[in-house]
Amino acid sequence: MTVKKPGGLAGIEAGETAISTVGKNGLGLTYRGYSIEDLAEHGSFEETAYLLIRGKLPNVDELAAYRRKLAEASQLPETLQRILELLPADAHPMEVLQVGCTALGTMEPESASVGAADIADRLIALTGPMLLHWYHFHRRAALGDGSAEEPQLESSATEVPVDAKAAEGVESEVTSDAPGSDSSDTGEVQEEPFDLDHYTVAGHFLYLLHGKHAEHLAIRVFDVSLILYAEHEFNASTFAARVTASTLSNYYSCIATGIGTLRGNLHGGANEAVMELITQFDNAEEAEAATRARLAAKQLIMGFGHRVYTVSDPRSDIIKKWSETLSMWADDSQLYAISEAVEQVMRQEKSLFPNLDFYSATAYHFMGIPTPMFTPIFVISRLTGWTAHIMEQRQNNRIIRPTAAYVGPDPLPWLAVHERH
């Protein structure tokens, strides 16, 4: 008797990795031995990136040098700027990043002297600027002469008082207005100079998006989200990148594979779907009733459950806390209460827990990040995990080529063309 194997390679060990553990005993996540809770509470995204790509946490001097390197790498080449400007305003943001990645690969190819780790640093620093250069170019064009189409990316603003930083144990230094707002209602971004001496990936992204330095609370929340999304073992995009790496293709091709896989709605995009869902409701009571109705109609509610975790997603509680904090100063703070109402129904009716994507949606929204940018932000973070796996695959490589169970017809006789029906 033939035993039918589960679809999607569920439960199949497809290889070995020393990079992360996911869902051991139904819960838990570690990056190279460090728990996600410790990384998110005590670390930064730059430390996490260094850990994943280089295999160790950086010391003080290494971290400072790494941030300087990323800051220097964050400047867009002029040729790449022109390429991004040629892409249509209604292009999918993930495809913009895919084009930007492969275009950079033709200008700064992988070589014996410039390997995967160095290119990863360049892409980590440059992915946000690529996305936001394309976005702002088309916004300015649309506002300038009315002939260009403005990217259809909605934004929301959240006022976070300076005092909020002290309440959350975040140092108070530079202050600004709302971290999630542009400097005018026209869509123009009036940029103040960016302080490269205090560069972080999170701070630079929010600066480029809004044209001014974000509040430290917003930067901290964004930084934590990048840590949480950085690595997750043999997920679909990582495994796809490893398959590409196993063919001995170049680094850029591996990353383009990852981006293309993450673009799929069953992998990336769940937090965008969550945002689309919760903004349909005016209050928690309406959300609760509508969620029960959707479940009764057997409709899918995104942002719940996980292929590997069976008890909880350890990342969800972390980002939920930060989402709640940001909601305290949000004009549309009811979205957090709405999210909690949906979560309660899902736990009661389906015994499902929220995954990282669910509360990431409101966290990003409260920072004024347009919803279609949620998955591209995933790319900025996951570049670190992809790179670690590409390098690991190359170290002990054998081309990944599984077999398939054939379910087609038995051998058939050849028919001449005039005999076929």
Q: What DSSP designation does 155 have?
A: -
136 is annotated as an active-site residue: no
Residue 340: C-alpha distances to residues 188, 204, 323 (Å): 35, 31, 11
> Under a CB-based contact definition with an 8 Å cutoff, are residues 119 and 251 in contact?
yes
92 is annotated as an active-site residue: no
Using CA atoms, how far apart are residues 91 and 59, in angstroms rounded to an integer?
A: 41
Backbone phi and psi for residue 21, each to the nearest 5 degrees, phi listed first: -115, 135
Which string of DSSP letters, residue by residue, matches 339-404?
HHHHHHHHHHHH---B-HHHHHHHHHHHTT--GGGHHHHHHHHHHHHHHHHHHHHHHT--------
> Under a CB-based contact definition with an 8 Å cutoff, are residues 160 and 329 in contact?
yes
Collapsing DSSP states into helix, strand and coil, what is residue 304?
strand
Count of residues making up the chain? 421
Report the Cα 266 to chain-centroid distance in Å: 14
**Sequence letter at residue 49:** A
Kindly name the residue from 136, 232, 306, 389 that is annotated as catalytic: 306
Kindly name the residue from 92, 177, 198, 267 that is annotated as catalytic: 267
Kindly name the residue from 213, 357, 365, 389 that is annotated as catalytic: 357
> Under a CB-based contact definition with an 8 Å cutoff, are residues 306 and 233 in contact?
no
Residue 281's contacts (CB-CB under 8 Å, 6 or more residues apart) are 287, 290, 338
Using CA atoms, how far apart are residues 172 and 33, in angstroms rounded to an integer?
A: 32
357 is annotated as an active-site residue: yes
Active-site residue set = 267, 306, 357
